[in-house]
Structure 1
Amino acid sequence: MMSKRPRRTFSKEFKSQIVALIENGKPRTEVFTEYDLNPSTVDRWLKQSRTTGSFKHVDNLSPEQREIRKLKKQLREKEMEVDILKSAALILGQKRN
């Protein structure tokens, strides 16, 4: 059984260099082998570079994903407001008694 390789992180500059190598004609398989990279990772970098020019996850979200993120944030805020109001109601109820 193969052990799982630890997750690696790559700088924006490194990703840009890999994208530039491929776009300038270096064979993809050479890039994968030479830098020990997963083809799907490099494909994602290429797509991100071509569509938004950014490697940040948040910059590459679809409009629907952005909306979902926004709505989840609003939901969390409303849940916090409700919790605060419940606490206030309990405190006020105790003071009346």
Structure 2
Amino acid sequence: MKLYENGKSHADITREYDITPSALDRWIKNHRETGSFAAKDNCSEEENELMRLRKENQRLLMENDILK
């Protein structure tokens, strides 16, 4: 993000770090909106809830296996 903010061109960044222009655009957009590059900070409430429920489901499945 700092490279882009300091004037390095979009093309130079994508070429130097071997990423797609759309990935760089998404990272810049997410960072501007949330101030973070972390996926969990850039997910919708529904996506966060789904991740939480999947994690809880996995934990419950493991507990169930232990009790068998």
Shorter-chain TM-score category? 0.7 to 0.9
Runs of 4+ in 1 over 6 A off after TM superposition: none
Identify the residue that residue 3 of structure 2 maps to in structure 1.
Answer: 18
Task: Give CA-to-partner distance per residue, 1:1-43, whole Å, 9 cap, x none.
Answer: xxxxxxxxxxxxxxx213414xxxx5xxx72322315220221
TM-score by length of 2: 0.78
Residue equivalent to 1:73: 55
With over 3 angstroms needed to count, the CA separation of the structure-2 counterparts of 1:54 and 1:33, relative to structure 1, is: same
Q: Which runs of 5+ in 1 are unaligned?
A: 1-15, 87-97
1:65: how far off? 0.6
User: Which letter maps to 1:75?
Assistant: N
Deviations 1:56-87 (A, max 9, x none): 1111111011000000011011101110110x
Structure 2 stretches lacking a partner, 5+ long: none
Q: Is the contact made by 1:19 and 1:45 (CA closer than 8 Å) also made in structure 2?
A: no
Larger Rg: 1
CA contact (8 A) 2:27 2:37 kept: yes
Distance 1:38 1:31, change over 3 A: farther
Identity level (%): 38
Aligned residues: 64
CA contact (8 A) 1:45 1:55 kept: yes
